[in-house]
Every structure is written in structure tokens, then in C-alpha cells.
Amino acid sequence: MDLDRPLWLRIVEHFRQQISTGELPPGARLPSRPEIMREFGVSDAVAKQAARVLISEGLAVAKPGSGTYVKARPQLQRLVRAWNRGSRSGSPVAAEMEAQGRRAAWDYTSRTTQAPATIRERLGLPEPEGDTPDVLRTDYVFYADEQPVMLSTSWEPLDLTRGTPIVMPEEGPHAGRGVVERMLAIGHPVVDWRETVGARLGTAEECAKLAHPQGSVMLTIERTYESRTRVVETADIVLPADLYLLEYSARMGQRE
């Protein structure tokens, strides 16, 4: 070990190595804090810091009254972001979970509100008039086999959907059918889409909703759907980086 590194980091690297090689397999109990103190000759504070880091990195999980155990690493799932899939009927999330052999479900809350400046720009909305709501915001938590796997916040312009059967994404005759199918129902077929992918540390709220330790790395997707005449929806999607690989594909057009 590098003796110039902090004591807690040397301990973390020691256990990282044992976990990566399988010497400490999933489910194995890690030494207790007193055991770490004796083995490495460190204080309780140092032993506690090392355990905290292993838990925050998703390598270990604490079980109150029992100890700290090596956490099983989830198998990465491919999440396909493809135009030909997005244009199918029904919920694209449900279709993707079904393709993985998993059961899909979601919770949501919808409300009218005034779009923040960044969302106004993405939707191409004019400057607001007073406090008048101009978008329908829907916040989702998606589940696969009852485990939370994705968050999404969607904004749809009310001047487009107000008074139509699709104004509420999860209610009415087109409930849960996905943006593409719903917009088609009111004469605004989606003809283009774009997604911007990033990564960052999850907020405390995001990590809690996704049942991940605070400070977990999240993949972010900024998605926008357009019809021939305007942007019809934009969304911010968040999912744990240790659960998914994003795969993009599209059909190539024919040369003329």
C-alpha cells in the first residue's frame, strides 16, 4: 500500500481488492470496526470512515445489529434508446422491461405549473404572463420487479394538450401509452427526437427514491420530442449508473 495515502483509504483499497478478486464474495461479512482497528492499528474514527466509504461506493451494505456485508453487484442491463422502439405503441419503459423479462410498474404525480426558464427554452415557449401555468409536469418513479430503477420528470405544453383527451398522461383513454402514441392521437405525430446523456452524483432525494447510497453516480438523459411544427414534450431522466448501459440505434435513411 502507498504509505502517503490516508489510513482510511489504504483500508478501503485493501477491501476493494479482496472484493474484486472474490476473496470476499457477495454476502461475506466484513470485519467489524474493532477488528479493523486491531488489524490495521487505527482509531475507531478511521475504521468508521473506511466502512462508510465502502458502503457509499456500493461495495458493502450495513445490516443493523448484524454487521457490514459485501454487496452483490447487479448485472448491468442494456437500456435501448432506439427510434424504432420509441415509435411503437404503448409505454416504451414497459416494453423495455418486458424485453428484459422483468415486470414494469410506475408511480407518478401530475400537476400544472409554470415552466422554469430552462424548460421554457427547451419547449420553445414564450415569456410567461404572470403566474399562469403553461405546462403539465409529471414526476415518475419506474420499477422493475418492484425495485426502483429510473426517475423521470416530463413537461408538456398546455397550449397543445389542454382540452384534449391526452392532457393527463396517466389518465383518460390514452393513459400510460407513452408520448409518441398520445401525441399522434391529437394530430401531432412525433417525427424527431434527441437525447443528451451525462453523468453526475445523485442528489439525496434521487438516491433515496432509487434506494441507492448517497453520492451514487447517476446517468442523466435530457430528452426532447418534436412534431413537424413544434416541441411536444421534454423530460429529464435519471437512472443509476451501476444498473444500466445505454445503447443507441437508429435506421439509416436511403441515399437518393
CB-based contact 137:153 (threshold 8 Å) = yes
pLDDT band per the 50, 70, 90 thresholds, residue 256: very low
Ranges assigned E (strand) in the chain: 60-63, 67-70, 77-82, 104-113, 135-144, 147-157, 192-201, 217-226, 231-240, 244-249
Q: Is 256 among the domain residues? A: no
In this prediction the pTM is 0.74
On the question of pLDDT at 4 being above 70, the answer is no
Q: Which residues are CB-neighbours of 22 under 8 A, at least 6 positions away?
A: none
- How large is the average pLDDT for residues 195-205? 95
One domain, residues 216 and 133: yes
Q: What is the pLDDT of residues 129-186, one digit of tens each?
A: 889 999 999 999 999 989 999 999 999 999 999 999 999 999 999 998 899 999 999 9
Domain termination residue (choose one: 70, 91, 112): 70
One domain, residues 94 and 30: no
Q: Is 2 among the domain residues? A: no
Strands 231-240 and 147-157: antiparallel
Q: How far apart are CA 150 and CA 96, in angstroms?
A: 12
Q: How far apart are CA 192 and CA 69, in angstroms?
A: 47
One domain, residues 175 and 132: yes
Domain termination residue (choose one: 49, 70, 91): 70
C-alpha separations of 69 from 8, 115, 141, 153, 202 in Å: 18, 45, 28, 34, 23
Q: Is 65 among the domain residues? A: yes
C-alpha cell at 119: 424548460
Domain range enclosing 208: 77-249
C-alpha cell at 50: 473506511
pLDDT of residue 83: 60
CA Rg value for the chain: 23
Domain CATH code at residue 45:
1.10.10.10
Higher pLDDT: 5 or 158? It is 158
One domain, residues 106 and 209: yes
One domain, residues 103 and 216: yes
Contacts of 90-95 with C-beta under 8 Å, sequence gap 24+, read: 90/177, 90/178, 90/181, 91/176, 91/177, 91/178, 92/178, 92/180, 93/142, 93/150, 94/176
Domain termination residue (choose one: 70, 88, 123): 70
Tally of structural domains, the chain: 2
Higher pLDDT: 5 or 201? It is 201
pLDDT of residue 88: 53
Q: What is the pLDDT of residues 108-135, one digit of tens each?
A: 999 999 999 999 999 999 998 889 999 9
The fraction of the chain above a pLDDT of 70, given in percent, is 92
On the question of pLDDT at 24 being above 80, the answer is yes
